[in-house]
């Protein structure tokens, strides 16, 4: 799918606006060396470690302020070969600016361009990274996932189901994703992929607080 650089830059701007409106800022950083740099800079900015996953790949840091304290979650995502960084509250912005000045980041416009090259190497990875940035849903998200779910390549469709499920949970609104999955389920001819879609629907309905039936194994 051919797109212009101007449209990609506009999409990146829209993503940033959605993050700003919600005080949720998500960036993908080059993986090499970034995780330790983020932790060091955050410590210099008076953020303290609050939680850490057992394997050390996810760390939550918080500021010392009693109100409007900056919060930062850092995820060393080996599968996607990036470090994902999410900050919340407006007070985290200076901290993230200091980090990004040191580490750099993977441009959202480039990720969007790669994700639109359906079937090309890296398109699924780009979509998965973008899914972590879907803090607010709009028609562009719908169109992007629709393209992936309609791909003639079953692996592209499979990966899209996982990324769509993640994006729905990130934005906190599973309704658009459930509509897309329902349409994809009608078209799907591969039994295993149909089961994957059904599983994703159950996950999102459960996420929305609906009672879901667990299939017998």
CA atoms of 35 and 49, how far apart (whole Å): 13
Using DSSP's 3-state secondary structure scheme, residue 119 falls into coil
The pLDDT tens digits for 41-52 are 999 999 999 999
**Which pLDDT does position 170 carry in this prediction?**
97
d(CA 116, CA 181): 19
pLDDT single digits (tens) 163-212: 999 999 999 999 999 999 999 999 999 999 999 999 999 999 999 998 77
Is the backbone of residue 43 left (phi > 0), alpha (psi -120 to 50) or beta?
alpha
**Most distant CA pair in the chain: distance in Å?**
55
> pLDDT value at position 1?
47
pLDDT in tens, 101-127: 999 999 999 999 999 999 899 999 999
Quote the pTM value.
0.94
What confidence score (pLDDT) does residue 98 get? 96
Q: 67: helix, coil or strand?
A: coil
Hey, what are 213's tokens? 């039936």
Give the mean model confidence (pLDDT) for residues 24-33: 97
């Amino acid at each position: 799918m051919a797109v212009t650089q101007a449209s990609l830059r506009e999409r990146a701007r829209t993503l940033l606006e959605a993050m700003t409106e919600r005080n949720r800022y998500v960036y993908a950083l080059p993986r090499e060396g970034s995780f330790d740099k983020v932790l060091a800079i955050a410590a210099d900015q008076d953020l303290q470690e609050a939680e850490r996953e057992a394997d050390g790949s996810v760390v939550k840091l918080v500021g010392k302020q009693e109100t409007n304290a900056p919060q930062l979650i850092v995820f060393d995502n080996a599968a996607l070969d990036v470090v994902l960084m999410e900050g919340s509250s407006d007070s985290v912005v200076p901290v993230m600016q200091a980090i990004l000045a040191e580490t750099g980041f993977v441009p959202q416009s480039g990720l969007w361009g790669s994700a639109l090259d359906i079937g090309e190497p890296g398109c699924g990875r780009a979509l998965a990274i973008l899914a972590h940035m879907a803090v607010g849903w709009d028609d562009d998200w719908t169109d992007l996932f629709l393209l992936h779910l309609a791909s003639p390549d079953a692996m592209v469709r499979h990966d899209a189901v996982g990324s769509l499920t993640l994006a729905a949970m990130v934005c906190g609104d599973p309704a658009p994703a459930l509509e897309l999955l329902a349409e994809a389920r009608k078209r799907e001819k591969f039994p295993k992929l149909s089961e994957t879609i059904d599983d994703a629907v159950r996950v999102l309905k459960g996420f929305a607080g609906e009672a879901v039936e667990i299939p017998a194994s």
